[in-house]
Amino acid sequence: TSTGRVSGMKAAAKLMKVFITRRIPQEGMKILAAAEGCEVSQWDSDEPVPRSELLKGVQGAHGLLCLLSDKIDQEVLDAAGPNLKVISTMSVGFDHLVLSEIKKRGIRVGYTPDVLTDATAELTVALLLATSRRLPEGVEEVKSGGWSSWKPLWLCGYGLSGSTVGIIGLGRIGMAIAQRLLPFGVKRLLYSGRTAKSYAAEVNGEFVPLDTLTSESDFIVVSCSLTPETQGLCDKAFFSKMKKTAIFINSSRGAVVNQEDLYDALSSGQIAAAGLDVTTPEPLPTNHPLLTLKNCVVLPHIGSATYSTRGVMSALAAQNLLGGLQGSDMPSELTL
């Protein structure tokens, strides 16, 4: 009928073009598929979109759904053109987005905090224990025949009971890590950051200068955002203040750590061990010096990697995108 044709034309007139930079969990795709007036195109791979394909894919897009491996800078925004009104990232970190350029153009940004807090905190605790109690070394010894008999000091590590834990960045994830570590019998919980947090009282957190945290902690956990202030924060001077028996854990962003300085601290015995869920670059080349060290445990950025968490992140990223396209509320909008 004629009305059918007219409504078809109307729909075509307000079709919003969306580009998704990767395969994402079904939860998010279902939401976008059910949305009216969305023309979705996607880099249909589990591998990151090549830069040239990203620049092609965003052309004329109204909405962009991206991942933390996609650098969204002036070049991408220029390639997208004036239609772009929302960028939705399936991550809590946003250091891959050039916010100054995005703000200049009045583009809204969605991200996925809160939903990945528990999974990331849990993984951080797992990494801390695996590092301090030398689990990967133990597994290797069993497999290689290095396990002969019970020996009093063989594969000894460091325990949390009676220890001092220092958390750099007591935000959502830092707080969740603190809440999980306390029941292990942690004696003191120190934290440093830009400001003292009122909620730190829940974990008996003591707000201290970074130097105090570095020199007094038995375990140091980095869970801050990557900003110009935190870039390269953990360097030679930082590691030299740590106890020789201290364990260093990073599940925030790789660039917070100077990896050459960390290598020196670990190989010289300046600190006891390190566990990293994040590196620079990612993936870390297999011939990287850190991977030759027994006292360094490196994981492939799996902080939020539980099936349910990734599903919820995908759905939230899709809902944020739709909110931005429709000019309505986004469940998790970044204030620019």
Catalytic amino acids? Answer: 301
Burial (CB count <10 Å: 0-12, 13-18, 19+), residue 256 = buried
Element (H, E) at 13: helix 2-13
Helix-then-strand count for the chain, H and E = 12, 12
Find the angle CA(102)-CA(107)-CA(108) to the nearest 5 degrees.
110
Instruction: Please state, as a whole number, how many other Cβ atoms lie within 10 Å of the Cβ of residue 7.
Output: 11
Q: Which residues contact 184 (CB under 8 A, 6 or more apart)?
A: 160, 161
- Chain position carrying tokens 């053109």: 81
- Chain position carrying tokens 């969305």: 38
Q: At what angle do helices 26-34 and 307-326 cross, to 10 degrees?
A: 30
